[in-house]
Amino acid sequence: MKRVSQATWDFLIVPRRCICGNPLALGDLLPSAFSSTARPSSSSSTIRSLVRPSQKPKARLLHTSTPLSVIPKAQPTQSAKLAALHGRLELPNKYPLTTLGRALIDPTAEPQHHLNNNSLSTVGNVLLGYYASEYLMVTYPRLPYAILKAAMEGYIGHKALAAVGTGWGVEAAFAPGTTVDPGLLQFNRLAPGTPWVPPYAGGLGFNPPMRQRKMMPPFEHNPSLEKQMAAEPEAMRRAWAAAARGKQDAIPLEGAMANFVRATVGGVYLHAGGLLATKEFVSAHILSRKLDVDKLFQFEQPTRELSRLCVREGFQQPIARLEKETGRYSRHPVFIVGVYSGEEKLGEGQGGSLPEAKIKAAISALKGWYLYSPVTGVDLPSKTDAEPDAPFSPSFIDVGDVVS
């Protein structure tokens, strides 16, 4: 029999790729390929002697040696679910199915970074925060910081992104494993009743909670934060510590679904055309959803805040005037009160009593100020990402929140 040279086997690449896209060398598949035969022939033993372990090419194996290995045996190109998801999202052909399949593997199911969606979700989270923040700041330039964060949570928070992923038709596997279809979302499910803290709070990264209107920055050895964490239950302290380190062993369905959406956005940026394609994808799938920003406001002292606003802007002090009423002496009276600054009407409210109507009128005036949106079209800062020399119309910049 004609002998085969060693160089022929070492440089022969099998047309089979792992989920991360790296080719596999035939030398890495020889042991598993010949171990299945009951009686190895003389030719197989000759080939084994030719391919020495020290001279094998360095290639990444298809199956990892970790106990949580979930790399599917079936190739992503063989999954009908993955191909259907690729078509529903209208992803270009430059977006490979292997990347979309990797976006469906959560770090809780596969700890190796080159096989899970951890890096892709990090890139996608930064891009989502960038496009959502610029959209809200340009559309509503007078939003207070707390309302801005709440609005970003409504657009790119884990619950909002989980709803987006569910709307895409993504299904979750019962448990991760090598026999799972590559088109299913794989993650380790969190036990019922176990506390969980999302690592991406409002798309802005991990932040400790804010209680009693006290800002507690996440500095190391923060006495206020340590005192608050000491008052929490043991399970909640472990959840906060795991979220701060970015290492969680289990995750709920909405968290895994949100990570998948972030990873998909990161894949669009890497494969589908950079910032311009990512902006179009985010605008079509994320920012196009309806969010009632006016329902996010919660005022504690609206009349006082309105008075401070008029002082800061140089307006006349607001005056409440009764405009209409009906059934004053009945069981269900209705009063309509308007708030005026000089001759200009700032807001109007109605209620079952005069104080209630006055407060609602002040709230209406404050919402009218904070929800101001420029009439003429202004450009987003990301307009110059693709074309640095494009004409740019700057947006309105407000002086900031009203301190009451």
- Same structural domain for residues 10 and 124? no
In a domain, 177, yes or no: yes
Q: What is the CATH number of the domain that holds 146?
A: 1.10.1520.10
- Same structural domain for residues 22 and 109? no
In a domain, 85, yes or no: yes
**CA–CA distance, 325 with 310 (Å, rounded to integer):** 27
Q: What is the CATH number of the domain that holds 320?
A: 3.30.160.20
**CA–CA distance, 332 with 72 (Å, rounded to integer):** 67
Triad 150, 152, 155: Cα angle to 5°: 115
- Same structural domain for residues 33 and 139? no
Q: Is the pLDDT of residue 259 over 50?
A: yes
**CA–CA distance, 139 with 201 (Å, rounded to integer):** 22
- Same structural domain for residues 112 and 195? yes
- Same structural domain for residues 48 and 142? no
Would you say 1 and 45 are in contact if contact means Cβ atoms under 8 Å apart?
A: no
In a domain, 219, yes or no: no
Q: pLDDT per residue over 141-162, tens digit each? A: 999 989 999 999 999 999 999 9
**Domain region containing 175:** 76-206+246-295
Q: Structural domain tally of the chain?
A: 3
Q: pLDDT per residue over 100-118, tens digit each? A: 999 999 998 988 888 899 9
Q: Is 211 exposed, middle or buried (0-12, 13-18, 19+ CB in 10 A)?
A: exposed
Whether the model clears a pTM of 0.75, i.e. scores above it, the answer is no
pLDDT band at 380, cuts 50/70/90? Answer: confident
In a domain, 306, yes or no: yes
- Same structural domain for residues 121 and 140? yes
Would you say 143 and 297 are in contact if contact means Cβ atoms under 8 Å apart?
A: no
211 φ, ψ to 5°?
-120, 145
**CA–CA distance, 39 with 337 (Å, rounded to integer):** 95
In a domain, 347, yes or no: yes
In a domain, 227, yes or no: no
- Same structural domain for residues 189 and 136? yes
Choose one of 260, 277, 295: the last residue of a domain: 295
- Same structural domain for residues 148 and 23? no
- Same structural domain for residues 193 and 313? no
- Same structural domain for residues 46 and 89? no
In a domain, 380, yes or no: no
Would you say 154 and 287 are in contact if contact means Cβ atoms under 8 Å apart?
A: no
What single-letter amino acid sits at 200? Y
pLDDT band at 221, cuts 50/70/90? Answer: low
Q: pLDDT per residue over 27-83, tens digit each? A: 443 334 333 344 444 444 444 444 444 444 444 333 333 444 566 666 777 889 999
- Same structural domain for residues 329 and 290? no
- Same structural domain for residues 113 and 17? no
Helices 145-156 and 118-139, packing angle to 10 deg: 130
In a domain, 329, yes or no: yes
**CA–CA distance, 67 with 280 (Å, rounded to integer):** 40
* 17 DSSP β-pair partners: 23
